[in-house]
Amino acid sequence: MTPANKADKLSPDASEKGDLSMPAKVDMDKIVSLCKRRGLIFPSSEIYGGLASCWDYGPMGVELKRNVRDAWWKAIVHERADVVGLDTSIMMHPAVWAASGHIDSFTDPLVECKSCHLRWRATEMEGERCPKCGGELTEPRMFNLMFKTSMGPVEEEASTVYLRPETAQGIFVNFDNVITTSRKKLPLGIAQIGKSFRNEITPGNFIFRTREFEHMELEYFVKPGTDEKWLDYWVKERFDWYVKLGIRKENLRLRQHGKDELAHYARDCYDVEYLFPMGWSELEGIANRGDFDLIQHAKHSGRELSYYDNEAGEKYVPYVIEPSAGVDRSVLAFLIDAYDEEEVEGEKRTLLHLHRSLAPVKVAVLPLSRNEKLTPLAKEVFNKLCPNFVTDYDDSQSIGRRYRRQDEIGTPFCVTIDFESLEDKQVTIRERDSLAQIRVPIEELGKILEAKLKGEAFDASPLWTTREK
């Protein structure tokens, strides 16, 4: 046993467990507390008491969020020849929102308590009195969810603009630009990731519903008549994306919208739902928007928005299939699904079984102790790895505590440098879930980690293998 094994007192049983079982529902408070403790997500403006429903992503959270975005972009844009990307501005011409129907229809019915003046979504009310103070409620009235601001230096003369409530409209108004410049044929998708803003009446459940959030949206333009086939295709693709990235199938389900539930623009719609701690809730919506948006923008702008199909020799307005997901809501689902607690030799181990590609840190370099003989070699190993992998270097506190910290942020691999390493130029790699360890030459470390991070079995042909004890 190497000193690294000795220091971390975990039972070998944990590694043999194999299944990553955990309670179906994790308490949201545990997720919030882990996020705060490990620098994933902090309340916004915390030193001023925070701002309702606003959250800041800390050093680990920013990496996780970026990995979620990158995984989506890779699957949707880079790994396909039929999708291109776009990045449009948050503030758009106000006519866009008249055309899209957001000025008239992007509303929620709201009731207000006559005593405490708290406002509630009418559709979420169970009784007839205020849930907070029992006061009498007003009749429901429609409340527009778009944030308004003014553009221009003199407020009275400035024009009203809105912060976009979705990124999709930036794609529709650029349809013609993209079609003519990309020289691609239909079916063609245009993808965008970016901030959206909604003045939600009842934000909450941590980052599940906030007033500022990030969308990952694809508008996939198809020939009318092929739309149903493409809707089925994208529903499956999107469901599988979450599964591929580690979410357990039993915590996901599809729900088709009832006819009375469909948005004004939608011909059909499915939600991918996840079993959040508060119950099954929408993770992503996949809608068949028909030709609603292009027709509306053509009407309001006076510009023709259609497509000439060379093969069919006809011109038509494409239909659109829209998978629309939230970055933050996905981050929350990935965190909840990855969260696990184990009791190992009387000690609690909290860990995130995050998929390798989502883990904020891929490799942690941990010298056995902050010893002047070990430090130069450990730094050398760190410098070798960090250009290729997001690598952490940590030499504070006991090795056991450092393993625990890395487990809690879901770091797949820890590399331990011990006194034997000085002699044999080998280090120990320890794997997060199985706690298996392999000893490898420093010279081959980069190559081995690269293969493991791509999914190679952990103990394929190591110099020697053992279990962390």
Our CB check for ligand ATP shows the closer of 212 and 340 to be 212
| 9: DSSP letter | -
Query: Strands 83-86 and 436-441, how do they pair?
Result: unpaired
Using CA atoms, how far apart are residues 157 and 155, in angstroms rounded to an integer? Answer: 5
Interaction residues for ligand ATP, span 35-54 (CB under 6 A) = none
| 50: DSSP letter | -
Nearest residue by C-beta to ligand ATP?
A: 326
* Contact call for residue 432 and ligand ATP (CB under 6 A): no
**Cis peptide preceding 203, ω within 30 of 0:** no
Our CB check for ligand ATP shows the closer of 194 and 285 to be 285
Q: Determine which residue in the list 43, 61, 285, 360 makes contact with ligand ATP, applying CB under 6 A.
A: 285
Our CB check for ligand ATP shows the closer of 265 and 403 to be 265
CB of 191 to ligand ATP, least distance (A): 14
CA-atom Rg of the chain in angstroms: 26
Q: Determine which residue in the list 65, 102, 198, 297 makes contact with ligand ATP, applying CB under 6 A.
A: 198
* Contact call for residue 268 and ligand ATP (CB under 6 A): no
Interaction residues for ligand ATP, span 398-427 (CB under 6 A) = none
Residue 421: Cβ-neighbour burial (10 angstroms; 0-12, 13-18, 19+): buried
CB of 334 to ligand ATP, least distance (A): 12
* Contact call for residue 110 and ligand ATP (CB under 6 A): no
* Contact call for residue 289 and ligand ATP (CB under 6 A): no
* Contact call for residue 452 and ligand ATP (CB under 6 A): no
Q: Determine which residue in the list 189, 290, 326, 410 makes contact with ligand ATP, applying CB under 6 A.
A: 326
Using CA atoms, how far apart are residues 405 and 31, in angstroms rounded to an integer? Answer: 15
Our CB check for ligand ATP shows the closer of 269 and 344 to be 269
Our CB check for ligand ATP shows the closer of 328 and 395 to be 328
How far does Cα 239 stand from its chain's mean position?
14
* Contact call for residue 282 and ligand ATP (CB under 6 A): yes
* Contact call for residue 176 and ligand ATP (CB under 6 A): no
CB of 276 to ligand ATP, least distance (A): 11
* Contact call for residue 65 and ligand ATP (CB under 6 A): no
Q: By three-state DSSP, how is residue 69 classified? A: helix
CB of 324 to ligand ATP, least distance (A): 4
Q: Determine which residue in the list 329, 349, 439, 452 makes contact with ligand ATP, applying CB under 6 A.
A: 329
Our CB check for ligand ATP shows the closer of 329 and 402 to be 329
* Contact call for residue 324 and ligand ATP (CB under 6 A): yes
* Contact call for residue 459 and ligand ATP (CB under 6 A): no
Residue 341 forms beta bridges with which residues?
A: 350
Helix axes 327-338 and 28-37, enclosed angle (nearest 10) = 100
Q: Determine which residue in the list 325, 335, 344, 427 makes contact with ligand ATP, applying CB under 6 A.
A: 325
> How does 360-373 read in b/e, with b if 16+ C-beta sit within 10 Å?
bbbbbbbbbbeeee
* Contact call for residue 167 and ligand ATP (CB under 6 A): no
Interaction residues for ligand ATP, span 346-365 (CB under 6 A) = none
* Contact call for residue 168 and ligand ATP (CB under 6 A): no
Using CA atoms, how far apart are residues 434 and 11, in angstroms rounded to an integer? Answer: 11
CB atoms within 10 A of CB 105: 12
Total binding residues toward ligand ATP, as defined by CB under 6 A: 16
Using CA atoms, how far apart are residues 15 and 17, in angstroms rounded to an integer? Answer: 5
Q: Rounded to 5 degrees, what are φ and ψ at 376?
A: -60, -40
Using CA atoms, how far apart are residues 369 and 387, in angstroms rounded to an integer? Answer: 24
Helix axes 442-453 and 374-385, enclosed angle (nearest 10) = 40
Q: Determine which residue in the list 213, 274, 334, 339 makes contact with ligand ATP, applying CB under 6 A.
A: 213
What sign results for the dihedral spanned by CA atoms 383, 388, 390, 391? negative
* Contact call for residue 192 and ligand ATP (CB under 6 A): no
Token digits for 354? 């995050």
| 182: DSSP letter | H
Q: Rounded to 5 degrees, what are φ and ψ at 132?
A: -85, -55
* Contact call for residue 200 and ligand ATP (CB under 6 A): yes
Residues near ligand ATP (CB under 6 A) are: 166, 198, 200, 209-210, 213, 215, 282-285, 324-326, 328-329
